[in-house]
Chain A
Amino acid sequence: MTALWAILLRDMRIAVRIGGGALMGVLFFLAVVTLIPFAIGPDQALLRKIGPAILWLGALLASLLGLDRLFAADHEDGSLDLILMGAASLELTVAAKGLAHWITTGLPLVLAVPVLGLLLDLDPLAIGAVALTLLAGTPALTFIGMIGAALAVALRRGGLLLPVLVLPLTVPVLIFGVSAAETAVIGPLMFGTPFLILCALTLMSLVIGPFAAAATLRQGLD
């Protein structure tokens, strides 16, 4: 257990230190939420209507952006090889890294929602709904994304390959996340269904992500 705890703390410390990877995600989130009204127009009513969708899209893209941080830095300085050779289970280690990544990248996005929601003139109920669904959904984005991050880790010219691989897999999370956020506003009675499915997707990703990522890392770095 101490090994996993050590990895968790180490990754969190690095994320906060180098390049402020944690805050970069929030800044990108802000940038996207600011850009969209430029494209759509300042129509308050329209922005309020699609506000939950804008917030979810921004959070999705911001999550995606931070994913290559998951394995790339470790791969470059060789610590990934050490991790692979280590005694701790690779799946659990990768899960610990994913948890650290979510705490430093995903969670700040959730905390930024109240502020950004004000930019889109959302009422407190809508803001709360978006924040809750993002809280439930951003772990899924991180853990699904880690599969793409593992696949792309050895590719120097990875570029946009990682997002292209990950985005189709995140479609269900996006659909149910936005749907849950919207039905919370329209009618709380329907909120349960999409929200529970969202939670189910997250739970599944917590299992599938580490297994797939670990398998990839093992195969790819032989």
Chain B
Amino acid sequence: MALIDLANPTRFLNFAERVLPWLVAATLFAFAIGLEQALFVAPDDYQQGATVKIMFLHVPCAWLGMFCWGLMTVAALGTLVWRHPLADVAAKAAAPIGAAFTFLCLFTGSMWGRPMWGTYWQWDARLTSVLVLFIMYLGLIALWRSVEDPGRAGRAAAVLTLVGAVNLPIIKFSVDWWNTLHQPASVFRIGGPTIDKSILVPLFAMAIAFTLLFLTLHLAAMRNEILRRRVRSMQMLRVFADEDMRQIESRA
């Protein structure tokens, strides 16, 4: 079965049903390893102490927030350029998940910042760019929900996603520039001048675990979205069928 066969929604549903249990198992296993590494094996950072453990959540979430927008960008190209039937399903399913992880990135960043900087928020370049990204996610979700027809909503969302993708590096660059302009450089680095291997291994483990979690959630959400569209078209058929029956009966 080629990848293109997955474009058929029914085949995709079957595929999802077969693959999901394995993905769930892989995710749980990865988290078991990742959490063990992060919580018990990783040493305390010489600068940050135990709060470095927050990094094992914060960095994967930041990575996922950006990875998700990248995935939605590919889906957007699928919608607009290749007219792939499931592209907008993938995009719609991904948006809330990406927004949730971006929010978690901000929250864990704040939890890390309070002991380190003394405030819950600081207009640090990275956190500020993520905040702008979060607002963009929310705007995208609002756009999805404001158009009734899924096809039209998908195309509008695709344009916004692409514009966002072009803008995100520019925004990141501008915020970086703005931040260095207004603040002296005092960068907290994990593990000192270079990231030590003892921190890197748990970080990778958690990153892999979170990515598997994202893929699992995304696949399940895509399945739900396909079912939701089936419900919608069947309900419309029923309305027309009822209307037909009424017309037949009134003529009889």
Residue ranges of A at the interface with B (Cβ–Cβ < 8 Å): 147, 151, 154-155, 157-158, 161, 164-165, 167-169, 171-172, 175-176, 179, 201, 208, 212, 215-216, 219-220, 222
Contact = CB atoms under 8 A, between A and B. Distances in A.
Given A168-B167, A172-B173, A172-B174, 20 more contacts: A151-B143, A151-B156, A151-B160, A155-B146, A157-B146, A158-B146, A165-B142, A168-B132, A169-B163, A169-B164, A171-B175, A208-B166, A212-B159, A215-B80, A216-B159, A219-B80, A219-B152, A219-B155, A219-B156, A220-B152
A168 B135 contact: yes
What does DSSP make chain A's interface, helix, strand, loop or mixed? helix
A155 B167 CA distance: 24
A158 B132 CA distance: 21
Given A172-B174, A175-B175, A176-B174, A212 B139 contact: no
A202 B142 CA distance: 27
Contact of A169 (B146, B152, B155, B167): B167
A176 B133 CA distance: 19
A175 B152 contact: no
Given A172-B173, A175-B174, A222-B152, A164 B142 contact: yes
Interface string B111-154: 00000000000000000000011011011001100110000100
A63 B97 CA distance: 33
A124 to B, nearest CB: 24
B68 to A, nearest CB: 16
Contacts of A220: 152, 155-156
Contacts of A169: 163-164, 167, 171
B147 A154 contact: yes
In the A-B complex, list the 4 residue pairs whose CB atoms are closest, starting with the nearest.
A219-B155, A172-B174, A175-B174, A165-B139
What does DSSP make chain B's interface, helix, strand, loop or mixed? helix
Interface of B: 80, 132-133, 135-136, 138-139, 142-143, 146-147, 152, 155-156, 158-160, 162-164, 166-167, 170-171, 173-175, 177-178, 181
A210 to B, nearest CB: 12
A176 B174 CA distance: 7
Nearest to A193: B177
B143 to A, nearest CB: 6
Contacts of B181: 179
A132 to B, nearest CB: 19
B175 A212 contact: no
Contacts of B142: 161, 164-165
B146 A164 contact: no
Contacts of A164: 135, 138-139, 142
B159 A175 contact: no
A193 to B, nearest CB: 9
B128 to A, nearest CB: 9
Contact of A175 (B156, B160, B177): B177
Contact of A172 (B136, B155, B171): B171
Contacts of A155: 146-147
Given A151-B143, A164-B142, A208 B171 contact: no
Contacts of B158: 219
> Considering residues B139, B158, B173, which has the most beta carbons from chain A within 10 angstroms of its beta carbon?
B139
Contact of A161 (B143, B155, B177): B143
B181 to A, nearest CB: 6
> Considering residues B143, B146, B156, B163, which has the most beta carbons from chain A within 10 angstroms of its beta carbon?
B163
A62 B167 CA distance: 22
A208 B170 CA distance: 13
Contacts of A208: 163, 166
Contacts of A215: 80, 159
A147 B162 CA distance: 11
15 contacts: A147-B159, A151-B156, A155-B146, A155-B147, A161-B139, A161-B146, A175-B175, A175-B178, A179-B178, A179-B181, A212-B159, A215-B159, A219-B158, A219-B159, A220-B155
Contacts of B173: 172
